[in-house]
Amino acid sequence: MERLRIQILGLYILLIPFDNFKIFPFSISSIIGIIYILLCISRDTKFNKQLLLEVTPFLLSFIIITCSTFINSENTDIKKGPENPINAIILYFIMVIVLLLTVSQEVNFKYFNKIITYLFVSVSIASLTGIYELYMVLFKGTFVFGQQFIQYFPIAGSYLLRIRGSYFDPNYFSFLPIFGIICANWIVKSRSLKLIINLIFIILILTTISRMAIICLIIYYAIIFIPKQLFWRLLAPLILIALPLSIYLLTKAVGFFIDFNPGSSNDRFEIISGSIKMFISSPIWGYGFNVRSPVDLDTHNSYLQILLYGGLIAFFSIFIPVTICYLNIKNLKSENEGLMKVRFFLISSFFPFIGFLFFLSYLMIKLFWIYLLILFLGKNLLYSSTNSDTRLTEPENKLEIE
């Protein structure tokens, strides 16, 4: 039964590229998620109550957002997306419960590596859709995923084609090769193969022309390649440069906030300032699933999305456990080289993940919850191995992908 559960969880992760394909009212992966939940609650599954308690606040976020959805179901003063909120409630519930049930079970290195391998294969499959799209555009002059995504870039002074694969949005799509790089650098042993995989994913990221993906990629490589002491020395002047710029941008955003007039513009400042104004009107409970910014667009920021969906209660119920988990990982001290490599993998992947949340709304994207699953599993692995004084060696710490 345990082997079957792991295989079903792997299939759930592998279906990330097909989340857009629906079997009413569920996606295919949601159906697999339900099967996984049913297998987990079978009588032979062993759960660690302490680990379950650590992630229980995620369930609180579901309760709050769901209640806010029904409370505001007849509220005509807020803009809502075209999606059925019931479908959003079901999807969110499945993603949260899969996370809770998985991280509350015991974990070992083999299991941890399998999860990362499943994610690597999944994002690689999804990335292939972008590679295929790029090939069809360059050599066939056709577009395989509907109308081409062309956007004007003032810096370039022209319109540019952005590759988006099966995700139908280049910014969301760029999330996938980033995690492809992170996973490959963990599970692939061959340096030459690792280099090739990194280059392929980098090229794919560049074709999306996603500024946020490039920034997050730079942060990731800075963490893994720049020595710790030098990294902090470089970070200080960057902060001095970024702080005045941030103040300027914030001032501009506040200007929009004071004189905000909802319209059809998709200017990011209008979206953010309008979303802040909505949050201030309902700071505790939010408005529920599918709420939109006043300009009838996505918030383009996961933190604002959560605040609009479920207010401060949902926000803290998600990010307090995540923050505690990260601090536990960061504060781990061990002479075990294998454990410290896991710790470094989790830390180096955490900052690109946090960076992405500033640019787009990922709460309802399954990859958001799969990463949190890996983060908590990794933390549990670190402390269970430390407490049991498990001595790990390099072959046990890596999968043999040559």
**Residue 85 neighbours by CB distance under 10 Å:** 19
Name which of 354, 321, 337 is nearest 392 in CA terms.
Answer: 337
Rg (CA), the chain: 21
Give the pLDDT confidence score for residue 102 in this predicted structure: 93
- What is the residue-level pLDDT of the chain in tens, covering all 402 positions? 678 888 999 999 998 877 765 555 567 888 899 999 999 887 677 788 888 889 999 999 999 999 999 998 877 777 777 677 888 898 899 999 999 999 998 888 899 999 999 999 999 988 888 888 777 877 777 766 655 555 544 444 555 667 777 766 787 888 889 999 999 999 998 999 999 999 999 988 888 888 778 888 888 888 888 776 665 566 556 555 554 554 444 444 444 333 333 333 446 677 777 788 888 888 998 898 878 776 656 777 888 889 999 999 999 999 999 999 999 998 888 888 888 899 999 999 998 888 888 877 778 888 899 999 999 999 999 988 766 544 444 434 444 444
Catalogue the E-assigned strands of 121-249. 150-153, 158-161
Rounded CA-CA distance 190/398 in Å is: 11
Give the pLDDT confidence score for residue 297 in this predicted structure: 61
Rounded CA-CA distance 385/380 in Å is: 8
pTM: 0.83
